[in-house]
Structure 1
Amino acid sequence: MQISQLDTAARQAAAEGQVAESARLILELLKSERRLANTGPQVLQLIKPRG
């Protein structure tokens, strides 16, 4: 599921009073965002190569 879809589903679940489902979707959303942030080279690795 894409991040925007997770966000929409979490908001919908919260609006319907499904707290547990909303919380589960929010955690999934945060995990997806963390994975996305960890892709690609880090800025400091580009500036100062390891060696």
Structure 2
Amino acid sequence: MLTVVSDLKQDASQLLVLDASGLNQIATVHLPRRVTAGIHGSWIPDTALNDTAA
């Protein structure tokens, strides 16, 4: 599982990689700048993109 954690005092963010079965931290990616609140994503199969392109 991926999540972004922001530290407002340091004006920095990290991307955390977690094991979804127990939420144990696997890795941390230190991002070059703070990611603002509200960022989100959607994951759909490539085939769904091809079906809607007309």
- Normalised by the length of structure 1, the TM-score is 0.31
Which structure has more relative contact order (CA 8 Å, sep 6+)? It is 1
Instruction: Select the structure that is richer in helix.
Output: 1
Scaled by the length of structure 2, the TM-score of the pair is 0.30
- Give 1 or 2 for the bigger CA radius of gyration: 1
